[in-house]
């Protein structure tokens, strides 16, 4: 099995019911996930003072670090490869009816096997496929990657993760997200009112720009679905 990563949580510091529920939920989500493109959970151990979450070691850092090392941007070929790995991870999440809710560069790790791996399931949730009203979910995530439905306090679905991946896709190519703001209201106002644009300073194919445009449709019903993404990128597992 080789080297492993161990997340140590002090039970003394995890006293609130909310903290306990978050940890329990994260473990419950990760236990059932089996994919080369998701950080694997191997075991959970507990002593009177600590909880030990034993996971796959991804010692090469995360995408935020990798992007900065590469001057803030990654060429299209490399970015598409990264996104295809992330999409492959979401193939497993979709199969298990899980939404991640916090996709961002810091939560995408570089595995020693050369694959990109989705990590940090603290905000992840199981979705009831028969539930047609997803508004009951709490509104969490990192604002610059949050979909308009969360920012505008509207109902949202698993297409929220599609939006977050679209922001990530764009940021890896261009060095900055398509919208940013000094505050959440400022960011929300820009997303609501400023059209998506692509800087001419970076050469990106029309096919990739079209895909990003489909992922960043502000209305959920117009946004591309995971099933369509898997078909377009021929994601098998």
Residues classed as catalytic = 102
Task: Give dist(CA 88, CA 159) in Å, integer.
Answer: 16
In the numeric block, the tokens 């946004």 are attached to: 223
Selection from 225, 121, 205 nearest residue 165 by Cα: 225
- 41 beta partners: 55
Helix axis angle for 76-95 and 159-174, nearest 10°, is 160
Helices (H) and strands (E) in the chain, counts: 8, 7
Asked if 184 contacts 140 with a C-beta cutoff of 8 angstroms, the reply is no
Decide the pairing of beta strands 108-110 and 41-46: unpaired
**In Å, what is the CA distance from 5 to each residue of 38, 58, 71, 132?**
14, 8, 28, 38
Reduced to 3 states (helix: H, G, I; strand: E, B; else coil), residue 77 is helix
Tell me the residue ranges of DSSP E strands in the chain: 4-10, 41-46, 50-56, 98-99, 108-110, 116-118, 125-126
């Amino acid at each position: 099995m080789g080297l492993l990563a161990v997340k140590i949580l002090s039970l003394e510091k995890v006293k609130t019911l909310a903290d306990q529920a978050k940890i329990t939920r994260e473990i419950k989500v990760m236990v059932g996930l089996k994919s080369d493109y998701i950080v694997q959970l191997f075991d959970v151990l507990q002593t009177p003072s600590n909880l030990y979450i034993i996971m796959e070691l991804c010692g090469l850092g995360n995408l935020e670090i990798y992007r900065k090392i590469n001057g803030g941007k990654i060429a299209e070929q490399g970015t598409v490869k990264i996104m295809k790995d992330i999409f492959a991870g979401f193939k497993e999440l979709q199969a298990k009816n899980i939404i991640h809710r916090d996709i961002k560069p810091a939560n995408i790790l570089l595995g020693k096997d050369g694959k990109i791996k989705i990590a940090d399931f603290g905000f992840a949730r199981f979705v009831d496929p028969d539930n047609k009203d997803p508004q009951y979910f709490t509104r969490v995530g990192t604002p610059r990657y949050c979909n308009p439905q969360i920012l505008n306090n509207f109902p949202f679905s698993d297409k929220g993760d599609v939006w977050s991946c679209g922001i990530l896709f764009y940021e890896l190519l261009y060095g900055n997200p398509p919208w940013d703001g000094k505050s959440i209201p400022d960011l929300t106002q820009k997303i609501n009112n400023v059209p998506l644009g692509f800087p001419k300073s970076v050469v990106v194919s029309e096919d990739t720009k079209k895909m990003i445009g489909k992922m960043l449709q502000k209305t959920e019903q117009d946004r591309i679905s995971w099933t369509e993404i898997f078909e377009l990128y021929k994601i098998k597992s």
